[in-house]
Structure 1
Amino acid sequence: MQILENNKSMNKTKLNQKILIITNGNLDHSSSRIRALQYIPYLESEGFTVKWLPRVPHKSKKSGFDRIVFAFKKRVFLLRIFIAILIGNYEILFVQRFFVPVWLFVNCKRRGKKIVFDFDDAIYISSTDKKAEGKTISVIKKANMVITSCEVLNDYSRRFNENSIIITSAVDTKIITPANKKNKLFTIGWIGSEWTSKYLSILEPVFIELSKKYKFRLLLVGAKDSINFNCETKKVKWSLENETKYLNKMDIGIMPLFDNEFERAKGGFKLFQYMSAGKPILASPVGINKDIVLSGDNGFLCKSEKDWYTAFCNLMDDEVLREKMGIRGRELMLEKYGLDVCSVKLVKSLKELQLYK
């Protein structure tokens, strides 16, 4: 009964709670920025006092001296994190995708601190770290609450910690907004990283067939320079400052994926980016993509090469359909997946966490 009373008053008052946020990366690290850092203004507006410590500094330049300085700073940053966790003044420790040593978590819990662990990829699968799964399980078990980005990760987490919830990887819909600009040449867009650009190989035969019927351009944001599909392609480096500009140069957004265990745990973030920019989406029916893409409504799910080809043709031939799907995608972002919506979920979950011993 007391919990119910607390819940009633919780939404009426702002808590004066201190949160220590530890991230695996800095502002240039997508998971750190998307899963933690962009929430700081919302947390502060709800009365939380936030301190953020990244595991690493901003990426250094490529000269030998810069790499030495970067390596030294990494050690300093790590030591700073350990000291802050051990003696810092906070009520909640929010850890994003960083394997904090278990003994530090034990120390936190002895001091009455609440631990939140957030992860948005299958970090328990690693070809370079044989201990990755063991470390992931240990952190999940010690946390008071675990936040994941999709059902696959949540199911995995709940095997070891029942207090696991899903908050999808939010896009700030106030920053990524639609622009009513028409391209002279139809543009198929993709955004990601050099590492994830390997998935584009799925579409190479599809692009070859499309080029026999249509004139179009590929706009690849963040892809490897070596990628070549023998069709007109513009490759640009990703930057936070230019992200919205390039999204708005696309007519449709794509997300091909392999259907493997690691890919099934992906969070679908690039689909949210396309939708926020008002673009129809085409995606492989893998993991959360099957929930985000409402086939025929805001885009199409494409399993085979024929599916991809047909979906491309439908959208390239029908401007009205593209506009309709883009509008619907934007509506879904505002209703379910935008930063404003996800911030409410996060704040509510953190407040509820403080009610339980």
Structure 2
Amino acid sequence: MKALALVEAPDHVCCRYRVRAFAEALAAAGWSLTIEGLARGALARPRQLRRARQFDAVILQRKLLNPWEMALLRRASRRLIFDLDDAVFWRDSYHPKGVRCPSRERRFAHLVRQADAVLAGNDFLVGRSLLAGAAPEVVRRLPTCVEPGHYPIRVPEPGSPVRLVWIGSSSTLRGLEEQQSLWDRIGREVPGVILRIICDRKPEFGALPVEFVPWSEPTEAQALAECDIGIAWMPDDLWSRGKCGLKVLQYLAAGLPVVANPVGVHPEMVAYHHSGILAATEDDWVEAVTRLVGDWELRRRMGAAAREIVEQSYAVDRWASTFVEAVTGSLGGMPARPHFDAIGGVRTLPSGRVEGTGR
């Protein structure tokens, strides 16, 4: 049996963590996986979509096709899976036209109604998929996962310099840069602290010294393991509700305590005062960083709890069966009893499948 994944690019971060990560599990189920960047151009893309008929299942990741492309792909696909880890039905936080986009919402609704399975990265995306008209039995929650074994664990030592760390892309770095006054204040009020930025460009944060490390896939885990406290900040808007918290998962996997603002999935991932600290205001941030910088034993204890959270709830092997079931259409074993989740009108099964409650 053969599966085809149509993604933004084979080396794109979303493909690496949400598709390629499960290739081994899919192979164990007797399926091969072909990953292709979605073709561009009036001739190339239709040819690629028609070739979907050569596969037993097609995974379309994040892309909202126009109506005729969607019709072509649907006709060519024996089984169609849509994967999303962002609020792709809206524009991003920094778009000049604002977040809401009715045309994207319509294309999203059409897509999820046509899909045989929808893999949504968090509860908010599950809820939006159901509101858009996806059949409850096809929607599954599949959080972005990491492989803990790929991340060396940071073990802090008393008296050593303390590094904050942020990892991400230029697009998400923009949000950090909009909080310039906060980072400048931390630099002035928390002596000796350094902020390592693992990215494709270096920002400036006033009094807070920045240590720039160019991002690369082979070195990112080690670059995180050399740091002490992971930081995550997102704007409090609709777009951020769809974010799936990859950078926080990477911090947790490296055994770093996390300081994050309480937006989107952050409160779910950061167990308050257990694996990290949620900080809403500038005063909260300064207090949290000051406390962690000054207490290496607290950092060690929170870091150990952070690693445990990843291993128990966000490791690849914990969710491999959900991915394989969605792609292959098979359900192993008896259905599990559902439990009520945080979004009204949604019930999430331990397998990741969801049901609507009729509310």
Task: Give the TM-score category using the shorter length.
Answer: 0.7 to 0.9
Q: Distance in 2 between matches of 1:23 and 1:77?
A: 15
Among candidates 112, 116, 137, match of residue 144 of structure 1: 116
Equivalents in 1 of 2:239, 2:76: separation in Å?
A: 36
Once residues 33 and 133 of structure 1 are traced to their aligned partners in structure 2, the CA distance between those partners, rounded to angstroms, is 26
Corresponding residue to 1:269 among 231, 246, 262: 246
Is residue 20–residue 93 contact of structure 1 (8 Å, CA) maintained in 2? yes
State the alpha-carbon separation in 1 of the partners of residues 270 and 214 from structure 2.
27
Is the contact made by 2:184 and 2:205 (CA closer than 8 Å) also made in structure 1?
Answer: no
- Aligned: 1:83 with 2:50: yes
Give the superposition deviation at 1:105.
4.9
Report the RMSD for the aligned CA atoms in angstroms: 2.5
Cross-structure match for 2:141: 166
Pair 1:297 & 2:274 matched = yes
Q: Is the 8 A contact 2:161 2:192 kept in 1?
A: yes
Instruction: Provide closer, same or farther for how the CA distance between residues 351 and 79 of structure 1 changes in structure 2, counting only shifts above 3 A.
Output: closer
Match of 2:81 among 116, 135, 144: 116
* 2:248 counterpart SS class: helix
SS, match of residue 148 in structure 2:
coil
Residue equivalent to 1:157 = 129
1:246 aligns with 2:223: yes
- Match for residue 264 of structure 2 among 283, 287, 293: 287
Q: With structure 2 as the length reference, what TM-score do the two structures score? A: 0.81
| Alignment-derived partner of residue 195 in structure 2 | 218
How far apart in 2 are the matches of 1:54 and 1:327? Answer: 38
1:24 equivalenced with 2:8 (yes/no): yes
Q: Is 1:278 the equivalent of 2:245? A: no
Match of 1:346 in 2: 323
1:200 paired to 2:176: yes
Give the counterpart of 2:286 among 297, 302, 309.
309
Per-residue deviation, residues 324-348 of structure 1 (Å, max 9, x unmatched): 1111110111111011112132123
Q: Does residue 175 in structure 1 map to residue 150 in structure 2?
A: yes
Name the amino acid aligned to 2:152: T
Compared CA separation, residues 107 and 83, structure 1 to 2 (3 A): closer
User: What letter matches 2:232 in structure 1?
Assistant: M
Q: 1:106 to 1:75 in 2, by over 3 A?
A: closer
Residues 286-331 of structure 1, C-alpha deviation per residue, up to 9 Å, x if partnerless? Answer: 1111111110110011111111111111111111111111111101
- Structure 1 position 155, deviation (Å): 0.6
Aligned residues: 320
Distance change (3 Å), C-alpha of 1:236 and 1:166: same
Q: Against the structure 1 CA distance between its residues 93 and 171, is the aligned structure 2 distance closer, same or farther, given a 3 Å change threshold?
A: same
Residue by residue, what CA displacement relative to the aligned partner does 1:10-34 show, whole Å, maximum 9, x if unpaired? Answer: xxxxxxx32121112221x111221
Q: Is the 8 A contact 1:54 1:77 kept in 2?
A: no
Partner of 1:45: 28
Gaps of 5+ in 2: 333-359
Aligned equivalent of 1:66: none
Q: Say whether the 8 Å CA contact 1:248–1:277 is kept in structure 2.
A: yes
**Which whole-Å CA distance do the structure 1 matches of 2:316 and 2:172 have between them?**
24
Amino acid at match of 2:35: W
Q: Distance in 2 between matches of 1:107 and 1:79?
A: 8
Q: Which amino acid aligns with 1:199?
A: G
Q: Give yes or no for the alignment of 1:125 onto 2:128.
A: no
* Residue matched to 1:95: 60
Q: 1:336 to 1:172 in 2, by over 3 A?
A: same
Give the counterpart letter for 1:150 in structure 2: N
How big is the shift at 1:354?
7.4
CA distance in structure 1 between the aligned counterparts of 2:301 and 2:285, rounded to whole angstroms: 19
Q: What is the CA distance between 1:230 and its match in structure 2? A: 2.6
Task: Classify 1:319/1:121 alpha carbon distance in 2 versus 1 (closer, same or farther; 3 Å).
Answer: same
Post-superposition offset of 1:121: 0.7
Q: Which structure ranks higher in relative contact order (CA pairs < 8 Å, sequence separation ≥ 6)?
A: 2
Aligned partner of 2:211 among 234, 240, 244 = 234
Q: Name which of 90, 106, 119 aligns with 1:134.
A: 106
Per-residue deviation, residues 135-172 of structure 1 (Å, max 9, x unmatched): 22221111011111111111100111022111111111
Q: Spell out, residue by residue over 1:202-256, the C-alpha distance to the aligned partner (whole angstroms, 9 max, x if none).
A: 5433333333342111101116434333321111221101111111121010101
Q: Which sections of structure 1, spanning at least 5 residues, go unmatched?
A: 1-16, 57-70
Is the 8 Å Cα contact of residues 23 and 96 (structure 1) preserved in structure 2? yes
1:165-212 CA-to-partner distances (Å, cap 9, x unmatched) read: 111111111212314465842100000011101221354333333333
Q: 1:96 to 1:298 in 2, by over 3 A?
A: same
